[in-house]
Amino acid sequence: MKRALVTGGAGFVGSNLCRRLLELGYRVICLDNLSTGQMRNIKELSGNRNFCFLQRDVCEPFKAEVDEIYNAACPASPSAYQAEPVRTTRTCVLGAINMLELATATGALMMQFSTSEVYGEPSVHPQSESYRGCVNPIGPRSCYDEGKRCAESLCFDYHRQFGTRIKVIRIFNTYGPGMAPEDGRVVSNFIMQALRGEPLTVYGDGSQTRSFQYIDDLIDGILKVMAGRDDFLGPVNLGNPEEFTMSELAELVLRETGSSSGLVKLPSPPDDPTRRRADISLAASELAGWRPKVHLEEGIRRTIDYFKAFV
């Protein structure tokens, strides 16, 4: 029976990962300080004898005998990570160091959850792993963008210097059940506003794009990366290559909710990327059989059903 540590395990991605690992027969330690994670996400797991929740901060050293480490701890919503930018950077950097120290000491395989935000405002489209990005190092998003870039750097330095076993994934926009209704990301914002009969808030002119990945597809990719070749370290993009404008997403949400809400347009936030699309050529070649399966329309329907409980 494999033992896994999931930091940020009460968050959106972390809780879905904990659930899948338990289904696969793992023993799972879920570590979360609950700054953005929610106990409701893991409530159903608490009765499983192979699940252990610890309310701890990843910025503090942690010791455990584990085989795999999934470092997902960090606020991912701009409103959350910009509210406490210093804490966000500390979580990215100190959290990575502490998990890398644990991996080095135990021989565990450590996966760093990075982000498509390392590409910044891209001059290359779609974004492949070879693109080094264009990030504003002193902007309001830099605590997250640069924090994740530093965490990637630490992973490869630990690997080169100490032989630490690592994997690095870059996650593109992901949505689905387990998202916090108030987290401030576009999918949750649009759905909650539509269900409440409020105008949907579109920043800018609505032409900016994102590629949206359903949570189940992401979890499938995570597990395939972890089970892949030891010498395939990444970074590797995990996302859905289908690209949609914010206006198209708003129209889809209104149609699927049956809402008569209108749109209200506000100025774009600073450093908000205008285009984002995952190039998953590397993942498709390295991860046998992996490719996103859930189309946006179907995924939005499932997510709407989940959010109805919060209205």
3-state secondary structure (DSSP) of residue 106: helix
User: How far lies 219's CA from each of 17, 124, 199, 234, 293, in Å?
Assistant: 6, 27, 32, 16, 12
Mean pLDDT of the chain: 96
Query: 86 or 184: whose pLDDT is higher?
Result: 86
Q: Percent of the chain having pLDDT more than 90?
A: 94
How far, in Å, are 74, 77, 183, 207 from residue 178 at the CA level? 16, 14, 11, 27
In this predicted model, what pLDDT tens digit does every residue of 212-265 receive, in sequence order?
999 999 999 999 999 999 999 999 999 999 999 999 999 999 999 999 999 999
Q: Which fold has domain 3-180+213-241+278-293?
A: Rossmann fold (3.40.50)
What does the domain layout of the chain look like in residue ranges?
Answer: 3-180+213-241+278-293
For the whole model, what pTM was predicted?
Answer: 0.96
Q: Report the SS3 class of residue 28.
A: strand
Residue 131 annotated as catalytic = no
- d(Cα 288, Cα 290) in Å, to the nearest integer? 6
Pairwise CA distance, residues 154 & 4, whole Å = 21
Q: What is the pLDDT of residue 273?
A: 87
Q: What is the mean pLDDT of residues 164-170?
A: 98
Cβ atoms of 151 and 112 within 8 Å: the answer is yes
The answer, yes or no, to whether residue 270 has pLDDT greater than 90, is: no
Which entry of 81, 144, 175, 214 is annotated as an active-site residue?
144
Q: How far apart are CA 67 and CA 3, in angstroms?
A: 5
